[in-house]
Amino acid sequence: MSHGNMNLTLKVWKQKNKDSKGRFETYDAKGISPDMSFLEMFDVVNEQLISSGKEPIAFDHDCREGICGMCSMYINGRPHGPKGGITTCQLHMRSFNNGDTIVVEPWRGAAFPVIKDLAVDRSSFDRIMSAGGFVSVNTGNAKDANNILIPKDDADTAFDAAACIGCGACVAACKNSSAMLFVSAKVSQLSLLPQGKVEKQDRVLNMVKQMDEEGFGNCTNTGACEAECPKSISLENIARMNREYLGASFTQNKK
Amino acid sequence: MSKKSGFLSSSIGKKFLMGLTGLFLISFLVIHVTLNSFIFFNDGGATFNAGADFMAHNPIIRILEIGLFAGLLLHIFQALVLTLENRKARPIGYAVVKGSANSSWYSRSMGILGSLLLLFLVVHLSNFWVPTKVAVFNHTAHDTFAGMKAVFSQWYFVAIYLVGVISLLYHLLHGFQSSFQSLGLNHKKYTPLIKALGMWFSIIVCLLFAAMPVTMFLGIIK
């Protein structure tokens, strides 16, 4: 189904670096095919900007198939644009109409400082992972597969949580810039499995501590994160983290 | 002890306390709406005044009242701390936000709804709680039912009370089920029940509260 090519107006956040003050700049996107992805539309605009000697718009992207989580764009008031369950690279221009004005902003949050234009620094997520998002394994011979039996339900729930790509849309969508959905998905994917269970108390305490130190906001249970998550990570993970944190805080047998 | 203070200063601990105090305040609403519904016996306030008199003088209720105010103050204090932290977490806001696409307006407006409730509580306590306390302190009899009729004969008080009840309705619609999530209670089987219970609880309690000033103003309750 072809709508014919579209002409659009883009209002894009331009910011030189972390310390400078940004502002919106208006661009014309002409002759955009409805079959293009949102990122390909940006490629076309950038090509035109480069050939006319202007500075292109900086934006993050990598796999362009919805699994890397890099394409952080807040489009017309929603992370990853108007469609649910997708990343920006999976958003097609047929979701827009000829003549539309599209406002594109970077993720907003104290813990996600802007690097340039639409690219933000999400290393706060990496530091949360370093604080406990792993399983400690002694090196040595690899164990036989399936020597630890895992109930199907647990494996499925853990896998659903592990689908999180760490894109930060949950933080971007949350009115408080809370990272609870991301952290709870990472806590859950490990603590649901026998290999991760043994360290679950230290993990949840350390990861939540790091999350708070990074300056993310608090969870108000609006559910915006779950609604905007490209991988549809469930709020059940947040409740699981809440009760694990409560249990670990009061029963951890240290100091 | 240090571990406990660590828990309460964490983001999850603060929300835990918010949910716990919220549920505690909800438990008070059950008592409040039940007792006040005695006016619907329409017996000139005889049953209601007997209940109000019991509440004003029973020593156990007096002790619980201190706990109620402590819970209320804690709820308000935590809300302020959390709101300030949340503001700091997003120093630069979005130019365009389409919140309606992913969440309900009242779940995003708990601070405003709570502030309206606090303003309402100032009026509400000065209308009823203060006169009752003065009477108890002076060892004089107090006709709370007559006090209600006097307040609810003025249209502007009826209007203020209706605004208060609507704020309460939306605050509860989000708060009731949200508190369970903050306490870590989420279950495939029980969460839909909690959500349904929360919705019906909010609607029934608020309808009963709203009916009190309205029926008195219209002269249905005499």
Could you read off the pLDDT of A18-55 as tens digits, one per residue?
A: 999 999 999 999 999 999 999 999 999 999 999 999 99
Q: Does A105 touch chain B (CB under 8 A)?
A: yes
Tell me yes or no: is domain B2-217 CATH 1.20.1300.10: yes
Q: SS3 for chain A, per residue?
A: CCCCCEEEEEEEEECCCCCCCCEEEEEEEEEECCCCEHHHHHHHHHHHHHHCCCCCCCCCCCCCCCCCCCCCCEECCEECCCCCCCCHHHCEHHHCCCCCEEEEECCCCCCCCEEECCEECCHHHHHHHHHHCCCCCCCCCCCCCCCCCCCHHHHHHHHHHHCCCCCCHHHHHCCCCCCHHHHHHHHHHHHCCHHHHCCHHHHHHHHHHHHHHCCCCCCCCCCHHHHHCCCCCCCHHHHHHHHHHHHHHHHCCCC
Percentage of chain A modeled with pLDDT above 90: 90
User: What mean pLDDT is reported for chain B?
Assistant: 94
A6 conformational bin, left if phi > 0, alpha if psi -120 to 50, beta if neither: beta
Q: Which residues of B touch A235 (CB under 8 A)?
A: 181, 186
Per-residue model confidence (pLDDT) at position A146: 81
Q: Considering only CB atoms, which chain A residues are within 8 Å of B183? A: 242-243, 246
Residues 14-73, chain B, touching A (beta carbon < 8 A): 14-16
pLDDT at res. A227 = 97
Alpha-carbon span B31 to B12, nearest angstrom: 29
The reported pLDDT for the residue numbered B154 is 96
DSSP sequence for B158-221 = HHHHHHHHHHHHHHHHHHHHHHHHHTT---TTHHHHHHHHHHHHHHHHHHHHHHHHHHHHTTS-
- Look at residue B41 and give its three-state secondary structure: helix
| CB contact at 8 A, B47 and B40 | no
Backbone φ and ψ for B46, nearest 5 degrees, come out as -60, -55
The stretches in chain B having pLDDT less than 70 are 1-5
Do the Cβ atoms of A175 and B99 come within 8 Å?
A: yes
Tell me the three state secondary structure of residue B84.
helix
Using a CB-CB distance cutoff of 8 angstroms, which residues of chain B are in contact with residue A120?
none
Residues contacting residue B148 through CB under 8 Å, at least 6 positions apart: B39, B45, B128, B212, B216
Q: Mark which residues 126-185 of A lie under 8 Å from B by CB.
A: 173, 175-178, 180
Surface of B (173-192) touching A: CB under 8 A: 174, 177-178, 181-186, 188
Q: Which residues of B touch A221 (CB under 8 A)?
A: 107, 174, 177-178, 181-182
B-proximal residues of A, 63-92, CB under 8 Å: 74, 76-78, 82
Cα-based torsion angle of the residue sequence A110, A114, A120, A121 in order, rounded to the nearest 10 degrees: -70
Rounded to whole angstroms, how far apart are CA atoms B128 and B151? Answer: 9
Would the CB atoms of A110 and B11 count as touching at under 8 Å? no
Say if A220 is an interface residue toward chain B (CB within 8 Å).
yes
- Phi-psi map region of A221: left, alpha, beta (phi>0 left; psi -120 to 50 alpha): left
Tell me whether residues A220 and B178 touch, CB distance under 8 A.
yes
Q: pLDDT for A120-129, tens place per residue?
A: 999 999 999 9
Report the distance separating Cα B22 and Cα B202, nearest Å: 13
Q: Are strands A114-116 and A119-120 parallel, antiparallel or unpaired?
A: antiparallel
Q: How far is B14 from chain A (nearest CA, A)?
A: 9
A218 and chain B in contact, CB less than 8 A: yes
CB interface of B with A, residues 103-122, below 8 Å: 103-104, 107-108, 110
Query: Is residue B13 less than 8 Å (CB to CB) from chain A?
Result: yes
CB atoms A240 and B184 under 8 Å: yes
Q: pLDDT tens digit string along B24-48?
A: 999 999 999 999 999 999 999 999 9
* Type of residue numbered B16: F
Query: What pLDDT does B5 receive?
Result: 52
The domain A6-105: what is its CATH number?
A: 3.10.20.30
What is the rounded CA–CA span in Å between residue B12 and residue A219?
8
Packed helices B11-36 and B155-182: angle between N→C axes, nearest 10 degrees: 140
- Residue pair B49/B144 in contact by the 8 Å Cβ criterion: yes
Distance from CA of B115 to the nearest CA of A (A): 16
CATH superfamily of A123-251: Alpha-helical ferredoxin (1.10.1060.10)
Structural domain spans, chain A: 6-105, 123-251
The structural domains of chain B, with segments of one domain joined by +, span 2-217
Q: Whats the size of chain B, residue-wise?
A: 222
pLDDT at B4: 47
Query: What pLDDT, on a 0 to 100 scale, did the predictor assign at position A1?
Result: 45
Going by pLDDT thresholds of 50, 70 and 90, the confidence category of residue A2 is: low
**Confidence band of A142 (pLDDT split at 50, 70, 90):** confident
What letter does residue B52 receive in the DSSP assignment?
Answer: H
Contacts of B9 (CB under 8 A, 6+ apart): none
Type of residue numbered B115? S
Q: Treating both helix axes as pointing N-terminal to C-terminal, what angle do A236-251 and A200-213 enclose, rounded to 10 degrees? A: 110
A13 to chain B nearest CA, in Å?
10
Minimum-distance CB partner of A221 among B96, B101, B182:
B182
Residue A141 confidence class, pLDDT cut points 50, 70, 90 = confident
pLDDT tens per residue across span A148-202: 899 999 999 999 999 999 999 999 999 999 999 999 999 999 999 999 999 999 9
Please report the pLDDT score of residue A255 as a whole number: 61
| Residue B21, H or E segment | helix B11-36
Other beta carbons within 10 angstroms of residue A195's beta carbon come to 13
Looking at beta carbons, which residues of chain B come within 8 Å of A228? Answer: 102
Where residue A73 falls among pLDDT bands split at 50, 70, 90? Answer: very high
Tell me the chain B residues in contact with residue A103 when contact means C-beta distances shorter than 8 Å. Answer: 95-96
pLDDT score of B1 = 36
Q: Could you tell me if residue A4 is left (phi over 0), alpha (psi between -120 and 50 degrees) or otherwise beta?
A: left
User: With bands split at pLDDT 50, 70 and 90, how would you rate the model's confidence at A253?
Assistant: confident
Residues on chain B touching A211 (C-beta within 8 angstroms): 11
